[in-house]
Structure 1
């Protein structure tokens, strides 16, 4: 009898069974991150949404809080003077980061991808601001923008208060935050360029395409997942911008942003927990819309 006759073909494959130890390991790897995310993210987010419908001072028991419905949302849109300027400033923040800082980061990534001399030095120099906190970046750029001792006024021979003038302090803050954003975008696109198949570039070159045509018609479309990641990161960064403007003037005098208004009303001098929670909920809803769009695009690409 041959080996073929000894092993009957049943068409069924025996499934590999995990040992008890492996099952416990997998369960812990799932449960622990889920518990941490729920404790630090989802539970506070849900609590914020709930508190946005109540009038609560933050000190008395929550059972004594008064239900006010959508009062805080109505007040934010109609009465609160800083709400619409904050929305406008966040939109400007997004447009500058996406329309100016992001293309600069992409251009730098393309130049560094050519493997020119001293490339590692340039990569390190451009990425260095990314590892710094936005608060520290605010202090660094204070050395540039200071009215009395700033480098910029010394070079121009002026006494402009770059951080204090409400007509220009937003643009000064955007220059500082763009300094960091450019390095972050450069790193993302540089990683994406390294992953592009060289054969695609060679095929385009054989077909007579120029370097510019090759990039925009071949390379850039291939980096579509990177483009989506950069778009989402840019949007979220512009929405949660806080550290820099809080260091400058606590989000006042032309630097109002949604994040600073949330902080001012919850832990600042206003101490209006419900109203600040309503502003935070608005930020959460806006962020969730773009996150859902991102996830749909990513899952569509995976399929």
Structure 2
């Protein structure tokens, strides 16, 4: 490797690392620091230590509702939407007739933003003009009932997530060596056994990517609930509370940063735990 090649690598990596530190980790660490302060963005910064976290847990009822909804959102995407995406990928990998049409139809929601998905959800679930009530003859207030709205909104979010996961897994399945399936068939394994014992283990890197995407999608959810009712009346999420406290009418940057820090810890907890277990497994 020449000196010029080493210089190019050093500059390229240096710029990428600098951009990451400046745009990602810099604001992240600043937010963690601000979470220990009482600051409105204008007056002097007043350090209050862990007071914001105490107030979150003891004196801010929307916080626990938001934590519950975010974890429920994560469970729904991870246990329902992601397996469905994998199932569709497996079916499409079998080269069904019109598979291109099915693939396009399932992937189409991915190109829509969650805000647009939220608008579509209103057209479907609205108690006044919604398609669902018009077709079924019901008068249910799907979006206004706090016991129902979180579920129907998660279904709408999953509609988009399924297509995303499907494409990722489909790409991974296309890269699997066909000889592995043939060897499993020769050994007497049926299709299900061949998939779970031979094919699925080879998708380990894809599983990591899907896990990270699922956690991020679940914990950063904001657009869809904000488009429906600004994240209130049963649709409280941590991301909405962060926005309301930092850029709302009563700007409480320190308090909002504390909520953002909790969101960061939850997301890192899931990802680090999974990756630690993954890399400890014998290969």
- What is the TM-score with the length of structure 1 in the denominator? 0.88
The reply to whether residue 46 of structure 1 matches residue 29 of structure 2 is yes
Aligned partner of 2:105 among 121, 125, 139? 125
1:95 equivalent in structure 2: 75
1:31 equivalent in structure 2: 14
Worse-matched range after superposition: 212-221 or 105-114 = 212-221
Indicate if the aligned counterparts of 2:35 and 2:258 stay in contact, CA closer than 8 A.
yes
2:232 equivalent in structure 1: 252
Indicate if the aligned counterparts of 1:72 and 1:278 stay in contact, CA closer than 8 A.
yes
Q: How does 1:1-303 map to 2 (within 5 A)?
A: 16-19=1-4, 22-60=5-43, 64-293=44-273, 295-296=275-276
Indicate if the aligned counterparts of 1:225 and 1:298 stay in contact, CA closer than 8 A.
no
- Structure 2: unaligned runs, 5 residues or longer: none
- What is the TM-score with the length of structure 2 in the denominator? 0.94
Worse-matched range after superposition: 187-196 or 219-228 = 219-228
TM-aligned CA distance change 1:212 to 1:205, over 3 Å: same
2: CA distance, partners of 1:101 / 1:51: 36
2: CA distance, partners of 1:270 / 1:205: 65
Please state how far the C-alpha of 1:242 moved relative to its aligned partner. 0.9
Indicate if the aligned counterparts of 1:55 and 1:273 stay in contact, CA closer than 8 A.
yes
Root mean square deviation of aligned Cα: 1.8
The superposition leaves residues 66-86 of structure 1 with CA deviations (integer Å, 9 ceiling, x where unpaired) of 110100001111111011111
The superposition leaves residues 131-176 of structure 1 with CA deviations (integer Å, 9 ceiling, x where unpaired) of 1110011112221112111111110112222112111110111011
1: CA distance, partners of 2:111 / 2:30: 32
2: CA distance, partners of 1:274 / 1:76: 12
- Structure 1: unaligned runs, 5 residues or longer: 1-15
1: CA distance, partners of 2:9 / 2:36: 39
Please state how far the C-alpha of 1:17 moved relative to its aligned partner. 3.0
The superposition leaves residues 184-238 of structure 1 with CA deviations (integer Å, 9 ceiling, x where unpaired) of 1111111111111111111111111111111112111221222222122212211
TM-aligned CA distance change 1:156 to 1:117, over 3 Å: same
